């Protein structure tokens, strides 16, 4: 099929949905899926937000053009679109983590590790599909140059933020705990791919970057604060250093060995909260 005959937006949505539904990497040890049906959005690589992120996050944060140049060289294709998706964590996994008050459930911990491995499969699937139909693409999180950054001004960050890309694609807003609240809630993983193919951007329906968070709207909530076992969330925001110290401490290393999962987080502030699986009224 000729490239001009493809409705690329719908084709990519179908490709992502098909991968989530059918790829065996999205299956846990009990055969159930790590993630439910995805949300998909598209951002223009020329959106001013990607420029602002170099101030908001730091000058080390990549623009979409920089991502493609790392793969194709500085004289390569121009970035046009960032394809973004949300992978909502399954209800069974969320329910298991609601019961916890200090450490993650087994299903949550294994979703964090093995579910993110599936997310890498999905990233590669999207890149390969775009290349196969004649385009150029790169997944920032799969690049060897991607790294975490401990910035003296903003704390822990990275050279590419999946959540900020998803915000630009209109898929949700941030919360008091630094999570990302989408129409399917805050319990999810995020992925993105940069391409030179032009796709109409998704609407950006939010008037404020923390609009979906009840606490940030001045409403009574703060449930995520009480869910945090080390008090890393307050009205001042999220203490990344304290959170990071907790989830990389000796207790978590022992849990990781027990659950046979390398990278785990507690996820307590993402479950048993009003925004767990929806935008709160």
Q: For the segment 45-58, what is each residue's pLDDT rounded down to a tens digit?
A: 999 999 999 999 99
pLDDT exceeds cutoff 50 at 223: yes
Number of neighbouring beta carbons within 10 Å of residue 79? 25
pLDDT exceeds cutoff 60 at 271: yes
Average pLDDT, whole number, for the chain?
95
pLDDT of res. 15: 98
| Average pLDDT score over residue span 9-19 | 97
pLDDT of res. 151: 79
pLDDT exceeds cutoff 70 at 34: yes
The confidence band for 88, taking pLDDT boundaries of 50, 70 and 90, is: very high
| Average pLDDT score over residue span 153-164 | 90
The confidence band for 150, taking pLDDT boundaries of 50, 70 and 90, is: confident
pLDDT of res. 2: 43
Higher pLDDT, 21 or 5: 21
Q: Angle, nearest 10°, between helix axes 116-132 and 8-22? A: 140
Closest by alpha carbon to 124, among 107, 139, 103?
139
Contact (Cβ atoms closer than 8 angstroms) between residue 239 and residue 177: no
Contact (Cβ atoms closer than 8 angstroms) between residue 179 and residue 274: no
pLDDT exceeds cutoff 90 at 155: no
pLDDT of res. 1: 41
The confidence band for 4, taking pLDDT boundaries of 50, 70 and 90, is: low
pLDDT exceeds cutoff 50 at 86: yes
């Amino acid at each position: 099929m000729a490239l001009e005959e493809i409705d690329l937006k719908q084709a990519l949505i179908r490709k992502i949905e098909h991968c989530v539904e059918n790829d065996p990497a999205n299956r846990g040890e009990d055969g159930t899926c790590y993630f439910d049906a995805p949300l998909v959005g598209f951002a223009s690589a020329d959106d001013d937000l990607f420029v602002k992120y170099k101030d908001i996050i730091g000058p080390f944060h990549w623009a979409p053009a920089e991502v493609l140049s790392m793969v194709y060289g500085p004289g390569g294709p121009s970035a046009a679109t960032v394809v973004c998706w949300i992978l909502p964590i399954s209800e069974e996994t969320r329910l298991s983590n609601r019961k916890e008050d200090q450490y993650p459930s087994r299903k949550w911990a294994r979703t964090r590790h093995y579910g993110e491995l599936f997310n890498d499969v999905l990233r590669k699937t999207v890149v390969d599909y775009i290349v196969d139909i004649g385009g150029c693409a790169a997944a920032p999180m799969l690049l060897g140059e991607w790294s975490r950054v401990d910035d003296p001004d903003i704390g822990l960050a990275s050279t590419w933020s999946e959540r900020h890309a998803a915000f630009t694609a209109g898929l949700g807003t941030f919360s008091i705990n630094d999570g990302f609240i989408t129409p399917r809630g805050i319990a999810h993983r995020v992925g993105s791919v940069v391409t030179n193919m032009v796709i109409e951007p998704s609407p950006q329906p939010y008037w404020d970057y923390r609009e979906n968070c009840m606490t940030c709207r001045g409403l009574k909530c703060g449930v995520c604060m009480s869910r945090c076992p080390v008090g890393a969330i307050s009205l001042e925001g999220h203490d990344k250093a304290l959170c990071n110290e907790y989830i990389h401490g000796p207790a978590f290393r022992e849990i990781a060995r027990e659950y046979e999962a390398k990278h785990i987080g507690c996820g307590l502030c993402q479950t048993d909260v009003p925004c767990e699986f929806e935008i709160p009224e």
